[in-house]
Amino acid sequence: MDVDGGGCDLAVTFREYSTVLTGKGFSLKLKGIVYATCVRSCLMQGSETWTMEVEHEVKLNCTEMSLIRWMCRVKLNERKKSEELTELLGLQPVSFMIKKSRLRWFGHVERKDNYEWD
């Protein structure tokens, strides 16, 4: 994985894992695990400190759902529910995961002593 200045090159991540994410010989649970650990972590990089607006959340959800449909080989006209596909992969929505990581980060900040900020 290519890390550049604290960021993550998402295109490199897709290329590296595309054989697992789109391969026919891999189970959906395995695809979900690889996606959650490798690709989603790049999507959420630094999300603890973002000012999350509704449009950002919508874009993240749309991006994730297009990736999930791509992994499951499901087209939009097949009318499969998003919840059904995320359940097949064993994933929770990206917006939930961002909220969870923000709360974890907030807990770390709250536990810091005042003298540690200097």
Render pLDDT for 88-112 as a digit per residue (tens, 0 to 9). 888 887 777 887 877 777 777 777 7
Quick check: 47 pLDDT over 50? yes
Verdict on whether the full-model pTM lies above 0.75: no
Question: Stretch 4-17: mean pLDDT, rounded?
Answer: 57
pLDDT at 3: 41
- The region, left, alpha or beta by phi > 0 then psi within -120 to 50, assigned to residue 53 is beta
Residue type, 79: R
pLDDT at 7: 45
Q: What percent of the chain has pLDDT over 90?
A: 0
